[in-house]
A and B are shown apart, each in its own frame.
Chain A
Amino acid sequence: MRLSPYLAFAKKSFLNRSAYRFDHFIGILDTLLKIFIFWEIYQTLYGTRVEVDGITLKMVATSFVLSICLEAIFFVDDNYLPDKIRDGSIANELLRPVSVQGRMLAENLGTALFRLGFHFCPAFVISIFFIGIEMPASLPMLFLFMLSSVLGYGVLWSISFLVQMTSFWLMNIWSLITIKNVFVNVLSGAMIPLWFMPDWMKKIIDFTPFSSIYFAPVQIYLGQLSYDEIACRCVLQLLWIGIIYSLGYSLWIRGQRKLVVQGG
């Protein structure tokens, strides 16, 4: 596979991002606001207690700061394909000698890279400065955290890919995307760290791909998992990417056969 067109897509997406400066600054503000609201809530909840279920306030803070900052990088354009199918410009996409999924991923990664540098970094530094979070458990754990984060993005991207593919049949999938986002927010530990979920719910969540997105990297960062468990988690992440992407891909193949180019 030639890589250069995909690099061009990523670059275009990266540069486009920098065109919307106001939107960008509001985005950073949004991230910081979320972090400080969570900080206030958990401070109040903890009160004078040092720990709840063996989890200290500082660990909770680490968890939500990491999750929210990762959320800022993990960019997925849920409307990429639905928009193109709705207005018929999917035709132009199919005329290019590149894989459409590859292009989607490249453009998303271009934006993600921009956000890593200009959104994640400032928000993260400010949060550390004002809130103070745990240091990574060890240097190897920091690297494994990064690896697991990349895989977590893979899981999130695959889920979005699968949902987007349904637009070949449904045309308008706004509601489906909203439902997907609610699941991701609640079950991935991005809002409430999964430690505080009731046991029965934890068991259910373990059978879903959502905890692989944010919570697995956070646990690795905090050194809560042994190397065996980390290996297990990473394999699970890969497995979810494989399963969900394959499902999405089979819909993609079927969808193309069903494709109706709207307008003209």
Chain B
Amino acid sequence: MEHFIEVNEVTKTFKVSKRAAGIPGMLANLVAPKVEKKKAVDNISFQIDQGEMVGFIGPNGAGKSTMIKMLSGILCPDAGSIVVEGYIPYKQRKDYVKNIGVVFGQKSQLQWDLPVCDSFELLKAIYAIPDDVYKDNLEQFVELLEMKDFINQPVRQLSLGQRMRADIVAALLHSPQIVFFDEPTIGVDVVGKEIIRNFIKKLNREKNITMLFTTHDMQDIEKTCERLIIIDKGTKMYDGSIQDIRGKYGKARRLDVEFNYDTSVESIPNVAVENLETEGRYKKRFIFQQDIVEMHYLMNHLLSRYSVRDIKVAEPEIDELIRAIYNGEVV
């Protein structure tokens, strides 16, 4: 069956110039620039159906933004194919972008010097949004995102949270079928985040808009998405429901161990180790799956080899589990 969004073995390579620091490095670079190729996205495939809400997570530099930019027709993949709603984004850019909205958390799409509502008016002209649709959408969004107070202020005078909300509205005024969010909650406070999350959720439910968003905040994902794609170093590490992660998360345990002196622990199969130097000088955290590694085995293992002062058992936060997935230690 044809999916709404089809991404097939997509690869994107960037050239990164390698330059030593200082004047010698500058001179060397002038004579013979060294360029290294870096795969930002490496052979990624996935499918998304209409109305799905998918979270896209991964550490900094994992290739999330590059993927979003390819999906929105800004960048052209080096290999592989992307088809969205029957369009090939980078080839049919002008027709394709009418149906999508994109929010870049780090780049505002609003006119810096103009009041927010003027930027919206320009978008109305660009997308040729009919008067009634424009009015309805604007009224509804302004209400939901609590923007009445600052709609007439110039963008440069807005706080980050306000600007982000205005940017989200800007991406949705033309009633797009698909919306890509690239870190829509970056730098936004707790209250603002909650407003944005509720808004995104409501829109997905009521208008059946397909959404894909990247974030570093696991709470964003937990509260909004059903499906999660994790990528790291350009490759896909996980693609599945949040439920599955929760299933693992339910069986996962975390063991905080305090040693009597500085101890380097040999690696134990299927157990992720983290240093907790900030909390106590010789503290380490072990994360593992109860059904793969037995608790008493791990405790025996540690107690018999190292000088242990204290042990504490707990369920890990979802963040820690994700981090373990990034590191390839669990899954």
Using CB atoms and an 8 Å cutoff, list the residues of chain A in contact with chain B: 2, 4-5, 7-8, 12, 19, 88-92, 94-99, 256-257, 259-261, 263-264
Q: Are A257 and B76 in contact (CB under 8 A)?
A: yes
Given contacts A5-B125, A8-B126, A260-B14, contact A95 B74 (CB under 8 A): yes
Q: Are A264 and B122 in contact (CB under 8 A)?
A: no
Q: Are B69 and A261 in contact (CB under 8 A)?
A: yes
Binds A, one of B50-58, B94-102, B216-224, B286-294: B94-102
B123-153: which have CB < 8 Å to A?
Answer: 125-128
Min C-beta distance of B22 to chain A, whole Å: 21
B242-264: which have CB < 8 Å to A?
Answer: none
CA distance in complex: A97, B99 (Å): 9
**How would residues 56 to 95 of chain B score, 1 for a CB under 8 Å from any chain A CB and 0 otherwise?**
0000000001000100111110000000000000100111
Contacts of A99 in B (CB 8 A): 94
CA distance in complex: A95, B170 (Å): 12
Binds A, one of B103-111, B270-278, B296-304, B312-320: B103-111
CA distance in complex: A88, B109 (Å): 11
CA distance in complex: A96, B129 (Å): 13
CA distance in complex: A89, B95 (Å): 20
Q: Are A95 and B65 in contact (CB under 8 A)?
A: no
Using CB atoms and an 8 Å cutoff, list the residues of chain B in contact with chain A: 14-15, 65, 69, 72-76, 90, 93-95, 97-98, 100, 102, 104, 106-107, 109, 113, 122, 125-128, 182
5 A-B pairs with C-beta separation under 8 A? A90-B74, A92-B109, A96-B126, A99-B94, A256-B90
Given contacts A259-B74, A261-B69, A261-B75, contact A97 B126 (CB under 8 A): yes
Contacts of A263 in B (CB 8 A): 106-107
Q: Are A95 and B72 in contact (CB under 8 A)?
A: yes
Q: Are A256 and B76 in contact (CB under 8 A)?
A: yes
Determine the residue in chain B with the shortest Cβ distance to A256.
Answer: B76
Given contacts A259-B74, A261-B74, contact A94 B93 (CB under 8 A): yes
Q: Are A92 and B75 in contact (CB under 8 A)?
A: no
Contacts of A94 in B (CB 8 A): 73-74, 93, 97
Min C-beta distance of B207 to chain A, whole Å: 20
Contacts of B126 in A (CB 8 A): 5, 8, 96-98
Contacts of B94 in A (CB 8 A): 97-99
Min C-beta distance of A100 to chain B, whole Å: 10
Min C-beta distance of B35 to chain A, whole Å: 12
Q: Are A92 and B107 in contact (CB under 8 A)?
A: yes
Determine the residue in chain B with the shortest Cβ distance to A8.
Answer: B125
Given contacts A92-B107, A92-B109, contact A259 B76 (CB under 8 A): yes
Q: Are B76 and A89 in contact (CB under 8 A)?
A: no
Q: Contact partner of B107 among A12, A88, A97, CB < 8 A?
A: A88
Contacts of B75 in A (CB 8 A): 259, 261
Contacts of A95 in B (CB 8 A): 72-74, 97, 100, 102, 109
Contacts of A88 in B (CB 8 A): 107
**Apart from the given pairs A5-B127, A95-B100, A98-B94, 7 other A-B contacts in the complex at a CB distance below 8 Å:** A12-B122, A94-B74, A97-B97, A97-B126, A97-B127, A261-B69, A261-B74
Determine the residue in chain B with the shortest Cβ distance to A2.
Answer: B128
Determine the residue in chain B with the shortest Cβ distance to A1.
Answer: B94
CA distance in complex: A264, B128 (Å): 30
Min C-beta distance of B72 to chain A, whole Å: 6
CA distance in complex: A12, B222 (Å): 42
Contacts of B109 in A (CB 8 A): 92, 95
Determine the residue in chain B with the shortest Cβ distance to A96.
Answer: B126
CA distance in complex: A37, B90 (Å): 52
Min C-beta distance of A116 to chain B, whole Å: 23
Determine the residue in chain B with the shortest Cβ distance to A89.
Answer: B107
Min C-beta distance of A156 to chain B, whole Å: 26
Given contacts A5-B128, A97-B95, contact A264 B14 (CB under 8 A): no
Contacts of A4 in B (CB 8 A): 125, 128
CA distance in complex: A99, B126 (Å): 11
Q: Are B104 and A91 in contact (CB under 8 A)?
A: yes
Q: Are A8 and B107 in contact (CB under 8 A)?
A: no
Min C-beta distance of B102 to chain A, whole Å: 5
Determine the residue in chain A with the shortest Cβ distance to B72.
Answer: A95
Min C-beta distance of A63 to chain B, whole Å: 39
Task: Please list the 4 inter-chain residue pairs (A to B) with the smallest Cβ-Cβ separation, ordered nearest first.
Answer: A8-B125, A264-B106, A97-B98, A5-B126
Min C-beta distance of B89 to chain A, whole Å: 10
Contacts of B90 in A (CB 8 A): 256
CA distance in complex: A260, B75 (Å): 8
Given contacts A4-B125, A96-B126, A256-B76, contact A264 B107 (CB under 8 A): yes
Contacts of B100 in A (CB 8 A): 95
Determine the residue in chain B with the shortest Cβ distance to A99.
Answer: B94
CA distance in complex: A162, B14 (Å): 25
CA distance in complex: A95, B99 (Å): 10
CA distance in complex: A263, B182 (Å): 13
Determine the residue in chain A with the shortest Cβ distance to B40.
Answer: A260
Contacts of B107 in A (CB 8 A): 88-89, 91-92, 263-264
CA distance in complex: A257, B75 (Å): 7
Determine the residue in chain A with the shortest Cβ distance to B182.
Answer: A264
CA distance in complex: A5, B98 (Å): 13
Q: Are A91 and B69 in contact (CB under 8 A)?
A: yes
CA distance in complex: A89, B14 (Å): 18
